[in-house]
Structure formats: structure tokens, C-alpha cells
Amino acid sequence: MKLIEGGVTSPRGFSANGIHCGIRKSRTKRDLCLIVSDRPASAAAVYTTNLVKGAPLKVTKKNLENGTARAVICNSGNANTCNADGVGIAEKMCSLAADALGIDPSDVVVASTGVIGEPLSIDPIAAGIGELAAGLGDHNDLAAEAIMTTDVRMKSFAVSFDIGGVECRLGGIAKGSGMIHPNMATMLVFITTDCSVPSSALRAALSHDIKNTFNMISIDGDTSTNDMVVVLANGASGSPEVTEDSEYFPVFMKALNTVTVALCRAIAADGEGATKLLECAVTGAKDEECAKTVAKAVVCSSLTKAAMFGADANWGRVLCAAGYSGAPIDPDRVGVVFSSRAGDIEVCRDGAGVPFSEELAKKILSEDEITIRVSLGEGDASATAWGCDLTYDYVKINGDYRT
């Protein structure tokens, strides 16, 4: 298993492109993305649990009922949500992509991200689809840029791994900066692989993976309406088929998890206005559910997030979050350690404070990646969640988002 370049275009048989078609006002911002497999691909997806769902999700769920797809089309700048003609627009996006590629519209995944409740015109998409399709190639970065909204950085990772002596590749791109909260899927993520994996095994792998990755991120406690994670597997590597009961399934799961964890960390680090990536690692829990509940409560705590922004070692806020999380913990056994590249510092043991250097704590918490280690002292289960600090800029960004 090794990290490689290329994102969604690193697997064989996949191409991508991203252009500015006119949905977004600024011509410097790409707003239309296309990812294509040169052959039919197995497909699996997970979606937001928000009862208010964007029209593209409804169309994509229908298109993926047969477990196959050939392409993904995604626009930024408009969520195509809560619009009377939203489903028709999403279906038209599929038809435009299909006509340009010579495939069936039902083989197209469609996604949108941006402002909710504003009508989406099909005109700029129709005008730009020819250029978009004609420019398909090894353009992972253009595609990754085209799905960004308030994101500051592109998010793209890929790995190579061995299946039965055959080199396979798996890569992904993601967007996510605000409206991020654990409740699937909290962002848009598109993953491709040239490994041979039937849709049933893809669904099993993705459903298992999200429990410890995309469902363990929180930026602001808001779950969006358009979130989805999609995986396409086209088998172009010629590898043996990876079924759920295959000896290769754990290898595929590790490859998938390596990319999804990297994307999770990138999304959390790029939270709106964020200056620091926060990781909460809980150990010593009675069971995994308890560990997850505590970890998520800590990264969701506005007071903890604000303390991390100010490099304030206010460990009481961590204990407070653990205490109201609903997890069955014994407060008198809890310990807290803050860690970063600058070192480690214990601030709480057995539910009480211990003497520590405020100067060293400030130095540790001034780094851009911080780990909050919480030990519960009651078992062997563990879990990790990701988030970011809460800054002045979060309010500034969301106070004038539509303008």
C-alpha cells in the first residue's frame, strides 16, 4: 500500500475534467465537473440522512438501483435543492452528460452543491457540456477544483495496492468545508478504483467504512441536504474479483480506508474559517459506541473548539463534553492529554487536574494539528473523530454566504 498521485484519474480507465460554465459569478472559479469510466463500472453510494434532500440525490439513487454507472457530473454554486423543477434539472444534467459521452442517462451519477433554494438554470450546463466532455483527460485537479464551494484547498488522495499479484489503484476527491456533521455523508466525495469489485461488495465496504470515517467528522453541527459518497469500480486493472468473502476483501477495505481517512482529515482541516485540525482519540472505553459518542461530543463542542482556537488548555471543556455526551462513563477515571508536533502534555488524570506548564501547553496548542487524547479507563474500545477550531471567520463566511 503506497500513496500515489492522481486522485480519481489514477485508476486505469478513468478520466476527468472541470470547467467554469457560468453557474458561479466569478470566471476564476470552476463550477462543473465530469468523471468518466471508459467501461461500465460497479457503483455504490451513501447519502445524507437529512429529510430535506437535494434533487440530485433522488435522481442518483434511482440511477444506481442496478448497481452500475459510467459517469459523475457535478456542479458547484447551486445545490438544486427545494426547487419545484429540481428533479427535472438533475435528470437533464444526466441526459446532457450521456449525450456527450454516448452512454445511457441512467448510467450517470448527478450531484450539486452550493446555495439552497435558488433555481438552477440548465442553460450554462448545456452550453458548457461539450467543452467539458471534449477536455476529459488526466485532470483530477480540475475536477477537484470544480466541486469546491467555500473550500480553501482541493482535497485529493490516491493509493496503489496489490490484489492477487495485480497492482490496483484507488483514488478520491472531496469537497466539504461547512455544514459538516456526523450523519452521512456530510460532504461530496467521489472515489474511483480499477479493482474488480461487484456492487454488493462495494456497498458492504462503503457502509462499513463510513462508520469510522465520514460519520466521525464535525465542523459546525449542521448536516447538509446534498451529501453523498460514491464509489465506482471498473475492473480495468484485470485483478481477481473482490467479493465480501474473498481473501482480498480486507486488502480492498484497507485501501478504501486509507483514502477516506485522508479525505476526512483534509475536510476537517479545511473547515470554514478553521486554523487547526482537531483529532479526538478516545481509548479505554467499555465499547466502541461509547468511544465514538465521547469522541464526537468533544469535536462538536463549541467551547472546546473555541479554546483550541485560542490555544487555551481548558481541559474542563473536554470533560464537560464527555459528561453530556450520553455515553456511560465514570468521570473519576477520565484522563486528558493534549498532543501536537510540539509535544504532549497531560492536563487531567482520574477526573481531576494535574500540575502542568501553561507555557508548554500554549506551545503545543499553537500548532495547526492537535490531538485531544481522552482515556476512559473502563475497557479496551477506542474511536477517533475529527473536527476543527471555531474562529471569527466562521461567522464572517456564513454571515454573507449568499453574497
Selection from 69, 118, 144 nearest residue 225 by Cα: 118
User: What pLDDT score does 305 carry?
Assistant: 92
Report the CATH number at residue 114.
3.60.70.12
Helix (H, G, I), strand (E, B) or coil at 301: coil
Q: Is 68 a catalytic residue?
A: no
Q: What is the mean pLDDT of residues 41-47?
A: 95
| Helices vs strands, H then E, count in the chain | 11, 15
How many Cβ atoms are within 10 Å of 95's Cβ, its own excluded? Answer: 17
> C-alpha distances in angstroms, 155 versus 8, 124, 136, 144, 254?
11, 25, 19, 7, 19
User: What pLDDT score does 181 carry?
Assistant: 55
Of 269, 298, 322, the last residue of a domain is 269
> C-alpha distances in angstroms, 199 versus 44, 147, 202, 303?
6, 25, 5, 42
Claim to verify: residue 177 and residue 312 sit in the same structural domain:
no
CB–CB of 67/117 below 8 Å?
no
Claim to verify: residue 227 and residue 101 sit in the same structural domain:
yes
Claim to verify: residue 384 and residue 326 sit in the same structural domain:
yes
Claim to verify: residue 211 and residue 304 sit in the same structural domain:
no
DSSP secondary structure letter of residue 380 = S
pLDDT at 59 over 70: yes
CB–CB of 321/297 below 8 Å?
yes
| Amino acid, res. 280 | C
Placement of cell 480486507 in the chain = 250
Claim to verify: residue 122 and residue 190 sit in the same structural domain:
yes
Claim to verify: residue 285 and residue 227 sit in the same structural domain:
no
Of 269, 300, 319, the last residue of a domain is 269
User: What pLDDT score does 84 carry?
Assistant: 86
Of 238, 269, 300, the last residue of a domain is 269
User: What pLDDT score does 267 carry?
Assistant: 87
- Give me Rg for the CA atoms of the chain: 22
pLDDT at 337 over 90: yes
Claim to verify: residue 214 and residue 124 sit in the same structural domain:
yes
Name the domain count of the chain. Answer: 2
Helix (H, G, I), strand (E, B) or coil at 104: coil
pLDDT at 184 over 90: no
Placement of cell 465521547 in the chain = 294
pLDDT at 187 over 80: no
pLDDT tens digits, 113-151: 988 888 999 999 999 999 999 999 999 999 999 999 878
User: What pLDDT score does 5 carry?
Assistant: 93
User: What pLDDT score does 222 carry?
Assistant: 54
Mean pLDDT score across all residues of the chain: 92
User: What pLDDT score does 141 carry?
Assistant: 97
User: What pLDDT score does 398 carry?
Assistant: 64
User: What pLDDT score does 314 carry?
Assistant: 96
| Amino acid, res. 242 | V
Residue of 48, 113, 186, 304 with catalytic role? 186
User: What pLDDT score does 150 carry?
Assistant: 76
Domain carrying residue 284: 277-399
Claim to verify: residue 115 and residue 253 sit in the same structural domain:
yes
Question: Following CA atoms 188, 192, 198, 199 in sequence, which dihedral angle do they give, to the nearest 10 degrees?
Answer: 10
CA 42 distance to own-chain centroid: 20
CB–CB of 195/82 below 8 Å?
no
Claim to verify: residue 79 and residue 228 sit in the same structural domain:
yes
Give the pLDDT band of residue 274 (cuts 50, 70, 90). confident
pLDDT tens digits, 209-242: 999 998 888 765 555 666 889 999 999 999 999 9
Selection from 36, 143, 32 nearest residue 80 by Cα: 32
| Global pTM exceeds 0.85 | yes
Is the model more confident about 218 or about 353? 353
Claim to verify: residue 75 and residue 11 sit in the same structural domain:
yes
Report the CATH number at residue 393.
3.10.20.340
Claim to verify: residue 95 and residue 235 sit in the same structural domain:
yes
pLDDT at 380 over 70: yes
Claim to verify: residue 116 and residue 234 sit in the same structural domain:
yes
pLDDT at 183 over 90: no
For 211, residues 6+ apart whose C-beta sits below 8 A from its C-beta are none
